[in-house]
Amino acid sequence: MYKVFVKDIPIILSTEKNIGKQYTAIPLRLARFKKLIKKINNGELIYVNLYHKNEEAIEKFLRKKLPFVKAAGGLVFNAKREILFIYRNDRWDLPKGHTKDKESYELAAMREVEEETGVKELEVRKFIGKTYHVFKRKGKFKLKATYWYEMTTKYDGPLIPQEEEGIQKVRWKNFEQSQKALKDSYENIKLLFPGEYLTTHPNDRVSQV
């Protein structure tokens, strides 16, 4: 199953026709992707499932329907098990960016983390997965696939937000602070975190740094 986010609404692409009564099910071959995006942006559609029996055909379909942009990013832990967040466009996010020609996703992820935050001495631990979201640039919809890696670092130097990329703040956040930040983040970013990060006790009063 794939989730392609339009703003914070997921278009589900799956091998199953029936995934819930609330979903509008459309065969993948009949889907008009740009029309669906506009309906979601206009609030006319919330639950949609595009289905195809062959899972390998799903991403091929996506690549044909919209210009495809490749990116990579990191879920970075320091020695205190704090997580590295950036603040941009009024939301907490994780560092990420476009890959360069002939650059591996892993190297791109490390480069983007360092460029956007100033954090060095990065070590990749594992590949987490891919997220997809639609964005609009110069009047055209594009599809971004971001490859995410879990990283660690012993770096304890200054955090430097990359202002030319619109990053206002960079912060290390502990478990409770990360939970709060994720309430003000993107749905595709939440997919990268274990479930315990997405629930907060009602008595918690942790202020954002």
Q: Of all residues in the chain, what percent are helix, strand and coil, respectively (each to 5)? A: 25, 35, 35
Q: What is the pLDDT of residues 134-177, one digit of tens each?
A: 988 888 899 999 999 999 999 999 999 999 999 999 999 999 99
Q: What tokens appear for 3 in the block?
A: 């989730």
Taking Cα atoms as reference points, which of 135, 45, 127, 126 lies closest to residue 98? Answer: 135
CA angle centred on 157, ends 156 and 163, rounded to 5° = 125
Q: What is the pLDDT of residues 30-65, one digit of tens each?
A: 988 889 999 999 999 999 999 999 888 888 888 888
Whole-structure pTM value: 0.87
**Is residue 23 packed enough to be buried (19+ CB in 10 Å), middle (13-18) or exposed (0-12)?**
middle
Domain map (residue ranges) of the chain? 2-65, 68-198
37 contacts 141 by C-beta, under 8 angstroms: yes
Long-range contacts of 38-45 (CB under 8 A, 24+ apart): 40/6, 40/7, 40/9, 40/11, 41/6, 41/7
H or E element that contains 180: helix 175-183
Strands (E), 96-199: 96-98, 122-137, 140-153, 167-173
Q: What tokens appear for 153 in the block?
A: 């670092």
CATH of 68-198, one of 3.40.50.720, 3.90.550.10, 3.90.79.10, 3.50.50.60: 3.90.79.10
Is the per-residue pLDDT at 130 higher than 70?
Answer: yes
